[in-house]
A and B are shown apart, each in its own frame.
Chain A
Amino acid sequence: MTVTNRHIRYTLLLVIIGLLVYLALGYGTRSFEAYCPFGGAESLWGLITQGEFTCALGPLNLSIMLALLGLALLSKKSFCGWACPIGLLGELGGKLGGRLWRKRPKVEKRTNGYLKLLRYVILVVVLYFTYHTGELILRGFDPFYLIFSGFGHGSLGWISIAVLGGIVVAALVVPMAFCRYLCPLGAVFDPFSRLGLLKVSRDDSSCTACGMCTQACPHEIGVDEIEVVRHRDCTNCLECVDVCPEDDVLSIRARL
């Protein structure tokens, strides 16, 4: 059996989810929240202005976020595709949705672009209120927190249930809907991801233009229309590389 990129990716994701469940069940000396990179962004201003971390956040949130920004400079949003459990949820939701819909509704390109601006709005709102209140105001709406805490302290009852349900349903309609439109961590990574050194590259001379790479992309990036995938949403998940029927048409290359 050939070991595909998806095999490696799902294995890594399962290990990470296993560790998070272990922490969420109360084992280990840290809360699962301590490993959330977005906590680093939420804490940064408090750390600069008051020399202390926000609420339950700590140095691990910040150090992981900085390491992942470095990773984004090297390998775009690899964290989102290879290590984020919410990314996996969106991806699996997208695959399930693909089976459920006879013809999945397509978000028009322009609307898609406008909707993507939402994640910047969410980022600004979350950071503003977190800095001003000193509380983690995102908890009640954060799928990562809600899932692993089992709707714990800070969740907003039926509002949180509706939010999480909405995210799951949205993933069935639009693949990776949360990651595309709502994830504030994705917004933090965006400028770094654009500069990411390692990119999927397509050899146009041997490509048969079958379009399977574009169909396989969880973010619906038109891989078959471009030679180098510079798209900010690319997570280097390598699904496109896995499905390509030709040898050596798609590969990972270091390109500025």
Chain B
Amino acid sequence: MRVSRFIIPVLVVVALLVGYSLRLAFTQPTTNISYARTGDTIENAQQATFIVEGVKCKGTASFFSSLYEDTPGVIAIETFASEHKAVFTYDPDVIGIEQIKSIMEAPIDFDDGTSEQVFRCLAVE
């Protein structure tokens, strides 16, 4: 059966769009860490999504999450490296979005004595 020559580009574009749409079916967090402590009020917990420049692979995602290991009010962090995204579950009575943002953007001291800003918040959703 003969078909129009335009079928090829149409199929290519449709395949790319289908591929883009299908991504949601395979979404897996790069890291998923819970820091829930005694005293955190899980019932009041809120979620905020940060787009973070610097979260780009499993290593940087793990390092990013570790910045909040001792931060009261941060209950859990899920990161999605391919989307440079971090989803925070936090207790709004203890910590706010601005404080979470200031922690990630603070310069980090390295073993060689240098200090550098590693992560930058691009957006909060």
Contacts of B8 in A (CB 8 A): 5, 75, 78, 82, 198, 236, 238, 252
Q: Which of A62-70, A163-171, A206-214 contacts B (4 or more CB under 8 A)?
A: A62-70
How many A-B contacts at CB < 8 Å in the complex? 129
Q: Which of B1, B16, B21, B83 contacts A58 (CB 8 A)?
A: B83
A30 close to B (CB within 8 Å): yes
B1, B13, B15, B27 — most chain A CB neighbours (10 Å): B15
**What 0/1 pattern do residues 49 to 79 of A give for CB contact below 8 A with B?**
0011101111111111111101100110011
Contacts of A78 in B (CB 8 A): 8, 11-12
Q: CB-nearest residue of chain B relative to A60?
A: B23
A172 close to B (CB within 8 Å): no
- How many residues on B have C-beta within 8 angstroms of the other chain's C-beta atoms? 38
Contacts of B85 in A (CB 8 A): 29
Prevailing SS type, chain B contact patch: helix
> Which residues of A in the span 100-147 have a Cβ within 8 Å of any Cβ on B?
134
Q: How far is the CB of A30 from chain B (nearest CB, A)?
A: 6
Residue pair B84, A68 in contact (C-beta under 8 Å): no
- How many residues on A have C-beta within 8 angstroms of the other chain's C-beta atoms? 46
Q: CB-nearest residue of chain B relative to A43?
A: B26
Residue pair B16, A31 in contact (C-beta under 8 Å): no
Q: A residues touching B (Cβ–Cβ < 8 Å)?
A: 5, 8-9, 12, 29-31, 33-34, 37, 47, 51-53, 55-68, 70-71, 74-75, 78-79, 82-83, 134, 198, 236, 238, 241, 251-255
Interface CB pairs A-B, < 8 A, 11: A8-B9, A12-B9, A53-B30, A55-B57, A59-B25, A59-B28, A63-B19, A66-B22, A67-B18, A67-B19, A75-B7
